[in-house]
Amino acid sequence: MTSSSGSVPKGIFISQRSYALQILEDFGYLGCKPTSTPMEPNLKLTQESSDILDNPQFYRCIIGKLQYLTITRPDLFYSFNKLSQFLSASRVPHLKASQRLLQYVKESSGLGIFFSANSDVKLKAYMDSDWGAYQGTRRSTTGFYVFLGNSLISWKSKKHQTISRSSAEA
């Protein structure tokens, strides 16, 4: 990675490349066809979409291993969050979506977080909320990202316990 002036940027890069490759090997996806996006656009996952998996342990194991990977991979967080909502009753579309996420991990195994030594020490935070986007319960989700300079230092997403009646409530 080089900056616009051609010099190598100063800072710390944290990556879990070896762990990502180990996950792929554990599930037999080391030789899979990579994909450039973690989830199909406009994919609607529901609790009632199809038959329940015969072996939900496999799906749970994939999600469990990906959870640790999200520590240094915020690009996986949205897809991981969506897929982790179906751990109690996982179905075929959920498994297929998790397999696509593994294909994305194959494509992007070297990604991580870079903490620049040259950025301003300025705290910035961004927040967003969807209003009842989860079709099963109509509950809203709120998320935030916090940056110190240009470095991402914290992020979180949470589904609300109550149902909002307007976007202002969400």
Task: Tell me how far CA of residue 10 lies from CA of 4, 16, 35, in angstroms.
Answer: 13, 19, 30
Res. 164: pLDDT tops 60: no
In a domain, 5, yes or no: no
| Co-location of 71 and 15 in the same domain | yes
Number of domains in the chain: 2
Q: Are residues 59 and 103 in the same domain?
A: yes
Q: By percentage, how much of the chain surpasses pLDDT 70?
A: 86
Could you list the residue range(s) of the whole structural domain that residue 155 is in? 119-159
Q: Are 86 and 16 members of one domain?
A: yes
Residue 78's Cβ-side half-sphere holds a number of Cα atoms within 13 Å equal to 14
Within-domain flag for 167: no
Whether 168 is in a domain gets the answer no
d(CA 117, CA 7): 14
Domain identity same for 105 and 47: yes
What digits encode the pLDDT tens for the residues 101-123?
Answer: 999 999 999 999 888 888 788 99
pLDDT at 142: 82
Three-point CA angle 37, 43, 45, nearest 5°: 125
Is the Cβ–Cβ distance between 159 and 141 less than 8 Å? yes
Strand partners, 159: 141
Asked if residue 68 and residue 39 are part of one domain, the reply reads yes
pLDDT computed for residue 139 by the predictor: 72
Rounded to whole angstroms, what are the CA distances from 69 to 16, 21, 77?
Answer: 7, 11, 9
Q: What is the pTM of this model?
A: 0.78
Q: Are residues 125 and 109 in the same domain?
A: no
* Shared domain check, 144 and 108: no
